[in-house]
Amino acid sequence: MPQPVQYRGMALIVPDNDSEWKEFYEHARAHRLVVRKCKACGLMRYPPTHACPWCMELGWTWQEVSGRGTIYSYEIVAHAIQPGFREQTPYAVVLIELDEQRGQPTPDEALRVIANLVKADFTPEAEANVAIGRRVRVVFQDLADHMALPQFTLTEEPASGRVWRMPE
Amino acid sequence: MVVQSRGLRDKYCIVGVGETEYSRASGRTTRAMAVEAIRKAILDAGLTAADVDGMLDYQGGDSTLANSVASDLGIRFNFYMDVMGGGSSTEALVGLAMGAIEAGMCNTVAIYRSMNGYSEFRIGGTGARAAQPVRGLDLAQVPYGMRSAGQNFAPTFMRHMYEYGTTSAQVAHVRVAHSKHASQNPKALLKQRVTVQDVLASRWIVKPLHLLDCCLETDNATCVIVTSAERARNLKHRPVHILGVAGRVSKPRLDFHWAHGPISRVAGYYAKDIIFPQAGIGPEDVDVTGSYDAFTFTTMLQLEEYGFCKKGEGGAYVSSGIIELGGQRPNNTSGSHLCEGYTHGMSMVIENVRQLRGAVDDYCPRAAEGVHTYDYSPGHCRQVKDAEITMNLGWAMPATGSALIMRRG
């Protein structure tokens, strides 16, 4: 795999022997969001890991998920640390709870993913639209022939539960 | 899983403490600073270099390791380890020092942290660190502009506001209290008292954190010395006994703790069940707390998780006046990371040792003799009257923390 991939001043390195991320990003480049699914108990997990955190089984397969979910929490970065993000401020980092496997295997657990909340052109969504409970879907920001970054964008679906923004 | 206490309550002591100046331009190496802090702690204890035969330090590739600093001081080891770690390491290493002595490996252990945390390796990840390549688990967050500690913790704080109605004004009281304490501390970098309005009017860093919700990157070195209670009896100061310790206790899914909620829960949820039975006390018995203040929110989250108030009521607790000098249970009486300087936690243990000795270094004219006025107006006293039991709550991240309970001998 050619590397590194340059993105916002960062060198993203996914070597051929990266047994966690290489195939994940290849799927993302084909615009599929995948997670690992345990061959024994069937539970899914993210980020990619090498044993099932619930049953310690080593066997797994990539499982495509719908990419639909709900904003579980967020932050608005006003002061960027990375130089490549300075022109993006203010930008939202969101914690997305995917629809699949919510509240399993215990009520506190879910498939959750960190990403930016973006508009169609991958620029940051307006801060006023960022809220816990808003529905989102995955979009893929192509970075190279072999790599795309999963991002999330708002949908028009009704909110899931209480919609909440930090008070002004 | 229940962790069995090993009957070490009261058997070990912290006998010496030392630190360098807190600054933003030390102009010297971490080796030079470590040597100064360790030497001060050895002298503070009334020991000599020959009495110190163990050493532990923590760092993140940003410091000088034990072999160099020990050689500078003429120390020969029976035991030493250099450990990777930042916040919550101090308490954990106090426990490991007890373990090394208990195992018969050595007699007395100096624990240090030395960092040019502002002038060289900034904790916030700015400068050289921001330019490092991104690989492995970092790919799950860093490409999204989530790299600094504040950026890593903010969704936890936001979710707490959502779940419990916690407000910015409530947690701003942590800064208000710690700035009050710093105004009594000649060592503190920021001695000016601030108001809730000052915090809320300061610029946004990463919502829900304002600038004044964040600590102060600093150059410094710090040291504490651990030995057995038996040896401590013959040393210079009234001994400070260790009642219990919990080291780097974690939540599930430490690789990506967001996977296992509630994300507003922090590691103290698990650590409290280790440390309180060990110490044989409860939160109500603690006179002074040292809840790690990398951010105002970290202090609040830990105080509620360890049971100083009910879960979800941390905002009300920290804004009630309880945590201020003169309140029922002051927190971080030195002003600590928000105002004194950022040390990765050791300074909060040092402060509590001094509180238990009755000998904090405030502006009281006879502070050096342990005579205090208990006048908490600006520029005066920060000694808590008759402090008998203190508790440190160390923070690495929402999912990892440590704790240490001490009592005066």
**Considering only CB atoms, which chain B residues are within 8 Å of A149?**
143
The active-site residue out of B22, B80, B118, B342 is: B342
pLDDT beneath 70, residues of chain B: 124-130
B258 touches chain A (CB under 8 A): yes
B352 touches chain A (CB under 8 A): no
CA distance B13 to chain A (A): 39
A76 touches chain B (CB under 8 A): yes
Query: Does A160 score more than 90 pLDDT?
Result: no
- Looking at every residue in chain A, the average pLDDT score rounds to 96
DSSP letter at A164 equals B
pLDDT of residue B122: 86
Domain ranges of chain A: 5-154
Whether the CB-CB separation of B56 and B80 falls below 8 Å is answered with: yes
CB spacing of B145 vs A47 below 8 angstroms? no
pLDDT of residue B100: 98
Calculate mean pLDDT across residues A139-151.
97
Q: Give the C-alpha separation, B27 to B8, whole Å.
A: 42
pLDDT of residue A168: 83
CB spacing of A13 vs B133 below 8 angstroms? yes
pLDDT of residue B127: 62
CB spacing of B151 vs A45 below 8 angstroms? no
* Residue partners of B198: CB distance under 8 A and separation at least 6: B212
Query: Does A22 score more than 80 pLDDT?
Result: yes
ipTM of the complex: 0.97
DSSP letter at B133 equals -
Mutate to test the interface with A, among B171, B258, B269 (most CBs of A within 10 A): B258
Portion 15-44 of A in contact with B at CB < 8 A: 15, 18, 20-21
B260 touches chain A (CB under 8 A): yes
Q: Which domains, from first to last, does chain B contain?
A: 12-121+217-232 (3.40.47.10), 241-408 (3.40.47.10)
* Residue partners of A27: CB distance under 8 A and separation at least 6: A33, A34, A62, A64
Query: Is the overall model pTM greater than 0.90, yes or no?
Result: yes
The active-site residue out of B292, B306, B317, B376 is: B292
> pLDDT band at residue A2, thresholds of 50, 70 and 90?
low
User: What is the residue type of B69?
Assistant: V
CATH annotation of A5-154: 2.40.50.840
**CB atoms < 10 A from the CB of B271, how many?**
28
